[in-house]
Amino acid sequence: MLKKLEEKILDKKAKVGVIGLGYVGLPLALTFVKGGFRVYGIDIDKNKVAKLKTGKSHILDVSPQEIKDALKEGLVVSADFSRIKELDAVIICVPTPLYKTKEPDVSYIVAAVEKIKRYMKRGQIVILESTTYPGTTEEVMLPVLESNGWKEGEDFYLAFSPERIDPGNPRYQTKNTPKVIGGISQRSTQIAKLLYEQVLDAVIPVSSAKVAEMVKLLENTFRIVNIGLVNEIMLMCDRLCINVWEVIDAARTKPYGFMPFYPGPGVGGHCIPVDPLYLSWKARMYGFEARFIDLASYVNSEMPRYVVSKIISGLNEHGKPLKCANILMMGVAYKKDVKDLRESPALEIIELLVENGAIVSYYDPYFPYLKIRDINLKSAPFDKESFTDSDCVVIITDHSDVDYKFVVKNSKLVVDTRNILKDIKDRSNIVRI
């Protein structure tokens, strides 16, 4: 079976299935199509499936034309999980959020694996790409897939390969981002490596699925700890009346031993605020306290409150209380130039402002409407009146296609959380974190 599967992969005759057509699964499916494979994209969201069938994209990084081309070249989009029995490779790209208790929610993975078990055939390879804690592939997926008496490495193959998607990154996309692979068995690593090598520029095998799972968590823990560190340095510089941005720019001139990270209003997105907590949770199960992770998460989680304090301070300088002040938020996405609200610090900042009696509006070209709990908002127009009518404009997300000089010129007070206004000479109405 292994030899037969290898031959089908090398001949591009293997049918590849991708479960979950979100920001990870859809670009991956298109990459396999471009590599010459027939791909079946499966998603439980029937509305999403219907839109994709007509060539409509729900992801900013994927154009409608790319989807239309893929549909012509071999992409089949469906909500029918029975198509799994036709496949040679099944790749799982489903969400892995946290419960409110900060514990991992692997219910989407479990649901996908149950569907695969129901329709799987001998000789298939199943690969998990969803970010999760070390041991998920072996401890959660493997027992389910072997419960019918089949054996991994003989009747089917199972591996983990962490997704490495950076939304809005024009340089690194699915094809040219190195891919880590770790199988339950050596055979699974071998076949998964062969599969991805057909469509990606570089594939890096590791000794086990656990190692591959840990790789992803290390990558994002490295980022959250360094973001937490620089945020704490920023708070310290604020007390010492030192420009932290100047400090970082000077430090980055060192050609070795330093990598610049930048402070901000908080962390957001699908990975950074979530993934390290998966690792922290797993560590506690083994009696180990991940102090760096917990401290960094705490520091970053306090940044929205710090931003609100800077807004209050700036308003006080202008003789205006926060209560009943008109606050215009510039950008609500979690990062620049992406249509993604997940874990965005802007949402918490808006809630805190409303709780303290402020009248909040926002501008974001990617989100015409916004609902936060019981708050319904509509994006304000980008015009002079929007800024002159506001007591304070707060730059949370520094989208590229924004005339910030126009913003500053027409605003009474601007709080800049991204240092996007660093080149503006007249800073009399600018407060920065």
Neighbouring CB atoms inside 10 A of 336's CB total: 15
- The pTM of this model reads 0.92
> Span 384-404, mean pLDDT?
96
Domain spans of the chain, in order of start:
2-209, 300-432
Count CA atoms closer than 13 A to 189's CA, side-chain side: 17
Nearest to 156 by CA among 194, 129, 127: 127
pLDDT digits (tens, 9 = 90+) for 272-321: 888 888 889 999 989 999 999 999 999 999 999 999 999 999 999 999 99
> Span 88-107, mean pLDDT?
90
Residues annotated catalytic, as ranges = 271
**Dist. CA 100–CA 97, nearest whole Å:** 10
Q: In the structure encoding, which two tokens stand for residue 240, read together?
A: 């010492």
pLDDT digits (tens, 9 = 90+) for 25-65: 999 999 999 999 999 999 999 999 999 999 999 888 899 99
Angle, in degrees to the nearest 10, between helices 275-285 and 209-240:
110
Q: Please tell me if the domain spanning 2-209 has the same topology as the one spanning 300-432.
A: yes
Assign a CATH topology to domain 2-209: Rossmann fold (3.40.50)
Give the pLDDT confidence score for residue 373 in this predicted structure: 80
Q: In the structure encoding, which two tokens stand for residue 406, read together?
A: 């126009």
> Span 87-111, mean pLDDT?
92
Assign a CATH topology to domain 300-432: Rossmann fold (3.40.50)
Give the pLDDT confidence score for residue 265 in this predicted structure: 96
What percent of the chain has a predicted confidence (pLDDT) above 70? 100
Q: Is the pLDDT of residue 382 over 80?
A: yes
pLDDT digits (tens, 9 = 90+) for 353-377: 999 999 999 999 999 999 888 888 9
Give the pLDDT confidence score for residue 403 in this predicted structure: 96
Give the pLDDT confidence score for residue 170 in this predicted structure: 84
Give the pLDDT confidence score for residue 99 in this predicted structure: 83
**Dist. CA 73–CA 378, nearest whole Å:** 39
Q: Is the pLDDT of residue 270 over 80?
A: no
Neighbouring CB atoms inside 10 A of 302's CB total: 15
